[in-house]
């Protein structure tokens, strides 16, 4: 029995939740994966998986074995990667998850530089504003914005940024410029329905003043790219991260208002699959993103 291969099969089964899904990831037949797990259970003299109509879950013994096997596989991968990198730099494939707009504005334009630095490296970039399952998608690192939903994830905050109330000069010429947060109730708000969005916007000021404003609008969007398009189409104003409109804020196509008030800040996080060590490739990419955003790397 190839102990490492069997451990990898078991870990993949637990991560995937089924033999069939694990077989697809491992590019093996399902009977071969099932046989490997049966041999492992016989070798250890313990039942590792519980089978039910809802799928596969590890037993207590299986969970303990999974945690040790996961670490052993990660350490073996790190050892192999360290040798490869010492002789030839980063290589292989790096799978990255990122929000659509953030990647389009800040990652993709700079990606050629990263690839030029690592000519043996290939990248799969999964663009999705939702929080995808990193293990299920085989993602090495994801860039996420806002509050993290899962506190068990391994994460590193890259940078903290501002949220602003933004709109186009054309919109403000028609609807007027709000001078206090209360004025927003008379404006058309473009409401972002995912994390950090909603119809209540909270403001604070250096003198300790705080106010929450309920906004209304005829357009609600579930993706940041839709918010950008609606703002640039003069549909209304919106609360958005400074990064989302950085080119337009610089050239005046979009203006920030109520700048003497502060909205809750927004964080950019590097998130790694739970229970795994961050790979050298993933850490190098995070350091590169920090450089792009003008942050001193700490990875």
* CATH architecture of structural domain 163-264: 3-Layer(aba) Sandwich (3.40)
Kindly report the CATH number that applies to the domain delimited by 89-158+273-292. Answer: 3.40.190.10
* pLDDT tens readout for residues 42-77: 999 999 998 876 678 899 999 999 988 888 887 777
Angle at which helices 19-26 and 3-16 cross, to 10°: 120
- Domain spans, the chain: 3-84, 89-158+273-292, 163-264
Does this chain's domain 89-158+273-292 share its CATH topology with 163-264?
yes
pTM, to two decimals: 0.65
Mean pLDDT taken over the chain: 87
Asked whether the predicted pLDDT for residue 132 surpasses 80, the reply is no
Whether residue 85 is predicted with pLDDT greater than 80 in this model: the reply is: no
Confidence of residue 298 (pLDDT cuts 50, 70, 90): very low
**pLDDT surpassing 60 at residue 196:** no
Region of 153 on the Ramachandran plot (φ > 0 left; ψ -120 to 50 alpha; else beta): beta
pLDDT band at 288 (very low <50, low <70, confident <90, very high): very high
Examine the pLDDT at 151 and tell me if it is beyond 60: no
User: What's the pLDDT tens digit per position in 244-275?
Assistant: 899 999 999 999 999 999 998 888 999 988 76
Which among 77, 3, 5, 62 is positioned nearest to 277, based on CA atoms? 77
pLDDT surpassing 80 at residue 278: no
Q: pLDDT tens for residues 3-46? A: 888 999 999 999 888 888 889 888 899 999 999 999 999 999 99
- Note the pLDDT tens digit of each residue in 153-171: 688 888 888 999 999 999 9
- CATH, domain range 3-84: 1.10.10.10
């Amino acid at each position: 029995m190839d102990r490492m291969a069997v451990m990898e099969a078991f870990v993949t089964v637990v991560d995937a939740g089924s033999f069939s899904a694990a077989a697809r990831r491992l590019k093996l037949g399902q009977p071969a994966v099932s046989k490997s797990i049966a041999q492992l259970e016989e070798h250890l003299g313990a039942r590792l998986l519980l089978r039910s109509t809802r799928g596969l879950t590890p037993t207590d013994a299986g969970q303990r074995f999974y945690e040790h096997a996961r670490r052993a596989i990660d350490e073996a991968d790190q050892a192999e990667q360290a040798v490869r990198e010492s002789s030839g730099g980063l290589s292989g494939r790096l799978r990255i998850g990122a929000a659509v707009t953030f990647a389009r504005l800040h990652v993709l334009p700079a990606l050629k530089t990263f690839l030029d630095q690592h000519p043996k490296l290939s990248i799969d970039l999964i663009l999705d504003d939702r929080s995808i399952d990193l293990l299920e998608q085989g993602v090495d690192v994801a860039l996420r914005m806002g509050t993290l939903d899962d506190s068990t994830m391994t994460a590193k905050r890259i940078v903290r940024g501002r949220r602003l109330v933004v709109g186009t000069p054309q919109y403000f010429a028609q609807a007027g410029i709000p001078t206090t947060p209360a004025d927003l109730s008379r404006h058309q708000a473009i409401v972002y329905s995912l994390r950090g969005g909603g119809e209540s916007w909270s403001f604070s000021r250096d003198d300790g003043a705080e106010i929450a404003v309920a906004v209304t609008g005829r357009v609600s969007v579930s993706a940041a790219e839709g918010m950008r398009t609606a703002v640039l189409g003069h549909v209304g104003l919106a609360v958005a991260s400074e990064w989302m409109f950085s080119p337009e804020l610089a050239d005046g196509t979009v203006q920030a208002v109520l700048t003497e008030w502060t909205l809750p800040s927004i964080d950019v996080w590097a998130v790694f699959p739970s229970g795994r060590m961050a790979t050298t490739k993933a850490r190098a990419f995070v350091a590169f993103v920090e450089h792009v955003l003008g942050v001193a790397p700490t990875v």
